[in-house]
Structure 1
Amino acid sequence: MKVNHNQFLLWFGAAISIAEIITGTLIAPLGLVKGSLAIIIGHLIGAFLLLLPASFLGGTRHQNAIELTAPIYGKIGFILFAILNVIQLIGWTGIMIANAAQAMQQLKLTHLSYLMNAIIVAGLIIFWLAIKTQFFFKLNNSIVLLLVVACLGLFWQLSQFAGHATHLSANPLSFGAAIELSIAMALSWLPLIADYTKDSKKPLALSLWSTSGYFLGSLMMFFLGFLTVITTGYTDFNQFLATSRFGFLILFIIIFSTITTTFLDAYSAGVNLKNLFPKIRYSENGLGIVVTLIGLGLIANQQLFKYELFLTLISAAFTPLYTIVFFNYFYRRLPIAVNFSGWLLGAIAYYGLQRFDFPLGTTVLLMICLWLILCCIAQVVGHRKINR
């Protein structure tokens, strides 16, 4: 039970981030009812249609995320996936540090420069990576619980605003696009979650705890950003934070929400690098520290905190990749050449399918289309299952 508790809080903490809050603000143009529905549906799809099976596969096969792809895509696909994943994880590491540093500077919480704020945040992430596992979970769990209390304080402050905002963003956003934003955030964790369930003796239980932790944490963050715009009219979440009289509380949320999220990105990047270069002497945590420093270097001279295009690229790359992985493990084995070709064509098709504005998002539409095509191919060339 303690392991499940740790895993739940680990993934709840992963979802508590400024990035999730900012993404939630983008859904406000839909209005309260449609926007709320889009957030909930998107999170149900992202968490339980995508993250749960990926987590379960890692636990049942005792393999991390990148190892699961080896029998599906072959050596070239394995390497390509690992490289793409390392790139996205380094990107997220830089984005998260930049978001925190930019917010700290804009709100004048430390009276330090953007670069110094970024260095402080990166240093704390490195500390998280360097501490021992047993102490890590005690510290991380305590911080996550404090973050929940702090976020509830922000919800209370929102409740003090009378009425609803009369002028919301005029940026057009369809219902399907709003759902896609929610799914895309979960998709960014898809290549990571098996890294944390692969050693489980009860993979289904641990996967449910992990997925539920992310689902609830991300849902809370999205609604915090979404309701901020609906209630106050501030499209920039930092504008709302600037109205708070609790500067220390805001500083705590910005810094430690960034740490609990970015730690997972950096550590999993280390896992991927270890798989790519098995002879390397450094541990996954040590490589995670290197990734954190690279992320810091990327954003040292520019504030990378606008990332809608980044989310689209992640969806295009990982939606077809994991649809094919799920098909091969849960339904029928296909030849490596078919899987690899399907992945590449699926990534291209993602952009074409965006034109249809499917009510449940482009990710779901692509998964349905790809699954049907694979079923037809499997009737001709499919095998029964992958040997354990």
Structure 2
Amino acid sequence: MRLSHDAPFFLLWFGAAVSLAEMLAGTLLAPMGLVRGLAAIVFGHLIGTTLLVLAGLIGSREGQSAMGTAGAAFGSAGRRLFAALNVVQLVGWTAIMLATGARQFAGLAAQLGAAGPVWPWIAVFGLLIAAWAVFARAGIGRLNTVAVALLIALLLMVFVRLFFVAGDSPAPAPATMGFGAALELVVVMPLSWLPLVADYNRHARSGGAAAVFTWLGYGIGSAWMYAIGLLMALRFGGLDIGALVGGAPAVVAALAVILLSTVTTTFMDTYSAGVSARHIAPIGSPRILALAMTAIGTAVALAVPIAAYESFLYTIGALFSPLYAVVLARYFGLGERADAPGVFNWPAIGVWALGVASYYAFLVLDAPIGATLPAFAFTALLYVLTRRIRAIAHAA
């Protein structure tokens, strides 16, 4: 493996994982308590990050974008359908990232005497992400390397303060969440990157090396963010970076964390939204389309209150876990490489729809292993059986 050439994928995916959205998701685990919450974080990332790197490995081997790999399984119109769903979820992520980052940034800026409403910061963050789209090279470049290195140093400062400077913890919330539901809230975060990972990992020189660096970068970074969110919720009752800092230097460092993490992560959402949009209508370059998606996401963040975050995460799991169960079963299980014939591969679409239904069914059951694993296994097995039965029917 050419480790030196593909090492930037560690920084790319670590930077993607370092976000307030991941910290916010970690706060949702507070009813589990510290020990069980951390257990859900570890096991959830083992499951979700492994699925993530497998999807990226297909892109590396075949040189295809994420929606290109989906189109190979579901047909040309199926590719456009899932590309449209991906654009919608990525615009949603862009709005969530901008609103969350701006809210935290405005709260901290008030400590420096820059009190004011949140909406101007949403606009500023949107402009910074647009600038990143112009100057960054698909998130894999010297600019991203410097930003992530700075993020690591700043986050270490925040983490130390969380452990040794923060005050007394509030009374723990009642344990109203089962372990399966908590596990699912962790797994769905790497799942949200499934429709993006091949957009970046297709540029790898060695698929195996990129897979290793992707796993380490995203797995470590995301688990760290979840842990910070969990600890913050247990100590302060929610996501509140302002509670960690005191004095101008610490406030400035925290502002830098919010700014850099929001820009580096949200850029990846907008860039991949542009790549997916080209599968719907091949007009414009991904970079130009990324600027358009940034503008749309900024407008949504300004106009629509961001709520129901937990439901949004579950919806992502329901739509994209069965989708990639089909893609991975087809590629790794059956060894199929050629594109599916026809406009719609209806058997694959039908299996995906049943997989979505099974995800919600398993979610209601609240099994200790969550909903992703059983729904993924059910969908993959159903797809393989469907292909085998069709092969036998054609042979007869």
By the TM > 0.5 criterion, same fold? yes
Q: For the residues of structure 2 that align with 1:176 and 1:184, how far apart are their CA atoms?
A: 12
Residue 125 of structure 1 corresponds to 129
Residues 1:150 and 2:159 aligned together: no
Decide whether aligned partners of structure 1 residues 121 and 114 sit closer, same or farther in structure 2, where only a CA change above 3 A counts.
Answer: same
Match of 2:18 among 11, 16, 33: 16
Decide whether aligned partners of structure 1 residues 296 and 82 sit closer, same or farther in structure 2, where only a CA change above 3 A counts.
Answer: same
Higher alpha-carbon deviation: 250-259 or 196-205: 196-205
Deviation track 1:328-387 (CA, whole Å, cap 9, x = no partner) reads 11122588221110111211222122122121210111012223333433331249xxxx
Q: For the residues of structure 1 that align with 2:161 and 2:136, how far apart are their CA atoms?
A: 37
Q: For the residues of structure 1 that align with 2:131 and 2:242, how far apart are their CA atoms?
A: 30
Question: What letter corresponds to residue 12 of structure 1 in structure 2?
Answer: F
Preserved CA contact (<8 Å) 1:228 1:240: no
Deviation track 1:44-73 (CA, whole Å, cap 9, x = no partner) reads 10101x111101000111101001112211
1:105-254 to 2 correspondences below 5 Å: 105-107=106-108, 108=110, 110-131=114-135, 133=137, 137-161=141-165, 165=169, 167-170=171-174, 172-230=176-234, 232=235, 234-238=236-240, 241=243, 243-245=245-247, 246-254=250-258
Aligned-pair CA distance for 1:147: 1.0
1:26-65 to 2 correspondences below 5 Å: 26-48=28-50, 50-65=51-66
Aligned-pair CA distance for 1:303: 3.8
Decide whether aligned partners of structure 1 residues 132 and 114 sit closer, same or farther in structure 2, where only a CA change above 3 A counts.
Answer: closer
Indicate the percent of aligned positions where both proteins have the same amino acid: 35
Residue 70 of structure 2 corresponds to 69
Q: For the residues of structure 1 that align with 2:49 and 2:28, how far apart are their CA atoms?
A: 20
Structure 1 alignment gaps of length 5 or more: 384-388
Which structure 1 residue ranges, 4+ long, deviate > 4 Å from structure 2?
A: 161-164
Question: What letter corresponds to residue 317 of structure 1 in structure 2?
Answer: L
Structure 2 alignment gaps of length 5 or more: none
Q: For the residues of structure 2 that align with 1:104 and 1:135, how far apart are their CA atoms?
A: 23
Aligned-pair CA distance for 1:173: 1.0
Preserved CA contact (<8 Å) 2:19 2:261: yes
Q: For the residues of structure 1 that align with 2:251 and 2:321, how far apart are their CA atoms?
A: 40
Residue 329 of structure 1 corresponds to 331
Residue 377 of structure 1 corresponds to 386
Aligned-pair CA distance for 1:170: 2.8
Residue 386 of structure 1 corresponds to none
Residue 83 of structure 1 corresponds to 84
- When the two structures are superposed, what TM-score results if normalisation uses the length of structure 2? 0.90
1:261-300 to 2 correspondences below 5 Å: 261-278=265-282, 280=283, 282-300=284-302
Q: For the residues of structure 1 that align with 2:324 and 2:202, how far apart are their CA atoms?
A: 17
